[in-house]
Structure 1
Amino acid sequence: MLAPFVRSVLAEPRAPHPPARTWWDWALVGALLVAAAGEAVFRSDVPARPLATVVALLVIPALLWRRTHPLLATAVGFGGAMVLLVPTMVSDVGDVGLVAMLAVLVLPYSLYRWASGPEALVGTAIVAVPAGVGLAISGDLGDVVGGTTVLVASFALGAAMRYRAVAHQREVEQVRTLERGELARELHDTVAHHVSAIAIQAQAGRAVAATDPAAAVETLAVIEAEASRTLHEMRTMVRVLRDGETADAEPVSYGPQRGIGDLDELTRMSPVVQVHRGGDLAGLPQPVEVAVYRICQESVTNAIRHALNATAVTVEVTGDVEVVRLRVHDDGEAARPATTVGYGLLGMAERAKLLGGACHAGPDPTGGWTVEATLPREVSR
């Protein structure tokens, strides 16, 4: 059990993005240097005052590097503390050191907060040597308990703040992953749908251009409208991405969000598409409305693109007491292998799962291809 722990510690990298030095870092070091100089002048009771002053004036500036070079700062700080213990060990002159030197107690915190695993182990040993010697020389139980408590608390606080930062970073990464997945679904469900509609209408226009120019002109108008919708929704999503670049940005919806009331728009893709609604579909939460529309949209797009010789694509949405059921069926020849799972099928399954529902797609036993989904009416928070 100890070996895996040691390996995990040794593999721990430095904490990323240590804060740069700020004005209050300089103010703190400046105040400590002034305090040390004042003690050197006015405290005649300090044994080995010249040595204590020199050590303090050398050690205190190391606090400026406690985040960017935590091991070096710890070595300088507690190395100076070890130097101050030498007169006490040699001649028993008492406590040698200035009160300003207590600032080195912030270094164990910085070590565990910012250093890598190997640096933290080496730094702990560096801190332990003068701390152990000083407590042993003291011989007072109260000093031993108090000094040990302060050091352990400094280490523990640094470790706790590091763990909190890591947990926050993981949470941020998880949110970003979810956002990327949502954007991928939105891009696939909106842009791919409109582009498929454009391609289908263009094929239809080519077929009738020679025999019915008026119908070809109408087809071009449909293509223009679909292209405009595609451009609008792309711009909307780009605005979402740009507005989300700053940490304090206000949430922006992916809009325009479609719902069950917009399902009739799917009939514009092909005359074989039929939409039927039934049951209680009033008062549904927006996430459910959007999921129903997007799943139906993707299913119809797939049917028109992949079903061979389809004469009908039927969309049925039914509201029950606790769930909303949808079924999209085409009567064409299923050109898609049942084992093929594309981004569209994956996106539909993810949408349903995120709301606590389920979505299944595959060849229908009676012929053609069927997509069925069940979504709860109430979205869990």
Structure 2
Amino acid sequence: MLNARVLARSWAHLLLGGALLMPFFLLTSVVVGLAAPDTHVTVHLGWQLVAYGLALPLVAVAGLLRPVRPLEVAAVRALVAVPGSALADGPAGSPDARRRAAGWFLAHTALGGLVSGASLALPPAVVFLVAMPFVGPLRRSRWADQFPVLPDPPWLGPPLGLAVLATLLAAVAGAGALLARLAPALLGPTPADRLAAAERRAADLAVRNRLARELHDSVGHALSTVTLQAGAARTVLAADPDFAREALVAIEETARRAVAELDTVLGLLRDEEPGDRTPAPTLDGDLDGLLDRVRAAGVAVHLAAAPRPGALPPVVSREAYRIVQEGLSNAVRHAGRVPVRLRLAHTDEELTITVENPVPAAAARRSGGGRGLPGIAERATLLGGGASWEAAGGTWRLVATLPLAGGPR
């Protein structure tokens, strides 16, 4: 049994196809009229079919245009019983996608044109046939001249009219079902569309991972440092007020920088222009401040070597700062106020970051299952380098190597 709602939506979709065919049909009707000046194309069924046939190649060519697919997909999603996930999004980019979209556009307009013509011609005929036995003058009216043969006796008119109506409904249902079967094949994603979608998902995931690393490294480092600074200030508040005061100043400065770095990450989420965001910290410009804040928490940080200012490419300097920041955060978080040795060995080809600190036995056994160390490895890998870490002989050692010419990958 036909679903009335599905039938009505299919009919509307086919009438839309007929409307899309109309400009092409009118153009070819003019051409046919010029070729046969003594013929009334608009009232002659044979010439109308000729104009219809000539219009279809023009429709196929127009279907190759990129905007056709998203327009047709929108119509199918609104009017055809096809799962939305089976249809492609966006303009047809590849030649294969354009050919499929052109095939769909041709099928939609061709069937829509036939159904639209029948929808205009047959309902008046149905009304005439059904009313003919009850309205005698109809058999002698000008409408009767449109029928090659009138049913005789007249009481055959209503059954014949209902049969014509049923045939029209069946044609609409059949054409709608055919288009519903063709839609996934012709408007569905091509292999190139699926590859592009996978690349977009990978790019989105990379951006999300980057934002997660930035939040973890900046906010996590700030919280670890502030916690240690606050604990140190509380411990010596009565015995050494000057140190406690310095620790509070360091807490204020650390929190202020954390807010600024958080604003930078939120700017990335809001897709602001780079000039509207707080510049990301770099090893060249912000290393001294980072070490001062860690030292203010009572952690002795010894800088064994450092690159000369301006020697690092900006992207390397930025990622190196985050790696050093996370390395110091790990030392503060897991080992407490122990001496930390930081070495930044710089050559013409690469920068090697080494962070070493003594660790208690319990901390030495940790597996590194948090997010900080994998984040360091990801940063190094994106630049074409690598990172490793180990706890041996009571010492925790983190080593990251960053090529200076590798660039983001």
TM-score (norm 2): 0.57
1:31/1:239 CA distance change after superposition, 3 Å: same
* Structure 1 residues 27-106: aligned runs within 5 Å: 29=21, 31-38=23-30, 43=36, 44=39, 49-51=44-46, 53=48, 56=52, 66-67=72-73, 68-69=75-76, 74=107, 77=110
Match of 1:201 among 229, 233, 255: 229
State the match for 1:318 in structure 2: 345
Say if 2:301 and 2:342, in contact at 8 Å, map to a contact too.
Answer: yes
SS of 1:269's equivalent? helix
Deviations, residues 11-62 of structure 1 (Å, cap 9, x unaligned): xxxxxxxxxxxxxx9997553243255357553498x9415537949x989x
Give the distance between the partners of 2:180 and 2:236, measured in 1 at CA.
Answer: 70
Deviations 1:285-318 (A, max 9, x none): 122222222111111111111015x531110111
CA distance in structure 1 between the partners assigned to 2:343 and 2:259 by the alignment:
29
Does the 8 A contact of 2:18 with 2:113 survive in 1? no
RMSD: 4.3
SS in 2 for 1:297: helix
| 1:255 maps onto 2:279 in alignment | yes
Q: Does 1:349 align with 2:349?
A: no
Deviation of 1:117 (Å): 8.3
SS in 1 for 2:311: coil
Q: Which residue does 2:261 correspond to in 1?
A: 233
Task: Choose which of 345, 367, 371 in structure 1 pairs with 2:394.
Answer: 367
After TM superposition, give the deviation of residue 347 of structure 1 in Å: 0.5
Match of 2:357 in 1: 330
Name which one, 1 or 2, has greater alpha-carbon Rg: 2
Mapped contact 1:281–1:319 kept (Cα < 8 A)? no
Residue identity matched to 1:263: L
Task: Look up the SS of the partner of 2:270 in the other structure.
Answer: helix
Q: Deviations over 1:148-169 (max 9, x none)?
A: xxxxxxxxxx89x955444433
Instruction: Indicate the residue corresponding to 2:203 in structure 1.
Output: 175
Aligned position for 1:93? none
State the 1:342 CA deviation: 1.3
Identity of aligned residues (%): 28
**Candidates 255, 269, 276, aligned match of 2:294:** 269
Pair 1:280–1:39, CA change in 2 (3 A): closer
Counterpart CA distance in 2 for 1:361 and 1:116 is: 58
* Separation in structure 1 between the aligned mates of residue 344 and residue 236 of structure 2, nearest angstrom: 34
Question: Conserved in 1, the CA contact under 8 Å of 2:263 and 2:277?
Answer: no
Change (3 A) 1:116 1:261: farther
* Contact kept? 2:20, 2:109, Cα under 8 Å: no
Give the alignment of 1:103-114 within 5 angstroms: none
CA shift in 2, pair 1:313/1:26, >3 Å:
farther
Specify every segment of 5 or more residues in structure 2 that has no aligned partner in the other structure, as ranges. 1-16, 77-100, 118-178
Structure 1 contact 291–351 (Cα < 8 Å) conserved: yes
CA distance in 1 between counterparts of 2:371 and 2:109 reads 57
CA contact (8 A) 2:383 2:403 kept: yes
In 2, distance between residues paired with 1:166 and 1:211? 67
TM-score norm. by structure 1 comes to 0.61
Q: Which amino acid aligns with 1:368?
A: T
2:212 is the counterpart of 1:184: yes
Give the Cα separation in 2 of the matches to 1:116 and 1:333.
68
Structure-1 separation of matches of 2:311 and 2:180: 54
1:278: how far off? 5.1
Q: Which amino acid aligns with 1:257?
A: P
Q: Which amino acid aligns with 1:347?
A: G
How far, CA to CA, are the matches of 1:56 and 1:118 in structure 2? Answer: 22
Aligned length: 284
